[in-house]
Structure 1
Amino acid sequence: MSAAPTNNAGPLALEPSEQIIARKFDNCAADLIVNAGIGFGVGVVASVLLFRRRGWPVALATGFGAGVSYSNCNYSLNPYVLPGTKVFKPSA
């Protein structure tokens, strides 16, 4: 059996803000790729099956996917835009 990994910094170690922003940005980029890809696929299927191979359903669905990922990223990076979210000032 192997021992569990230990954290030398202790249980209350804080993550640097640069790493938090980098992690959020990486999640935003991954979300953009996934949502735009799903939108592209839905647009291709809709174009082939419903719209006689026109190009606009592909562009529209890809734009919808990119817009959803932009909105999710905006919520992730800016907590003030979420309705019902209270952001408290840190106590000095």
Structure 2
Amino acid sequence: MTSNQVFIEDKIGKRLDRCVSDTLVKGCGGLIIGSVVSLLFFKRRAWPAWVGTGFGIGVAYRTCEKEISSLK
């Protein structure tokens, strides 16, 4: 075994770590954007914040799905 050989488990682990951090960043970004929109336009309703969070998590999920499936 050579010292520069990378196992498939290490690649999957790194990609999953990136997916988790990407989900947190995009979910929180959606929450913040949704909260600002709610404060400015919708008289402090809660649904824009939840919709923004859902969009952020959905985009992160799609990105992760593509990244994981490109491993095969």
Q: Which runs of 5+ in 1 are unaligned?
A: 1-7, 81-86, 88-92
Pick the structure with more helix per residue.
2
Residue in structure 2 matched with residue 38 of structure 1 by the alignment: 29
* TM-score relative to the length of structure 2: 0.91
Unaligned stretches of 5+ in structure 2? none
Q: Does 1:75 align with 2:50?
A: no
Larger RCO of the pair (alpha carbons < 8 Å, separation 6+): 2
Identity of aligned residues (%): 34
Q: Which structure: larger Rg? A: 1
CA offset digits 1:13-58 (Å, max 9, x no partner): 3211111100000000000000001000001000000000001000
For residues 56-71 of structure 1, what are the structure 2 equivalents within 5 Å?
56-71=47-62
Name the residue aligned to 1:50. Answer: 41
TM-score, with normalisation over the residues of structure 1? 0.72
Matches within 5 A, 1:1-20: 9=3, 13-20=4-11
TM-aligned CA deviation for residue 68 of structure 1: 0.4
Could you list the structure 1 runs, at least 4 aligned residues long, displaced by more than 2 angstroms after superposition.
Answer: none
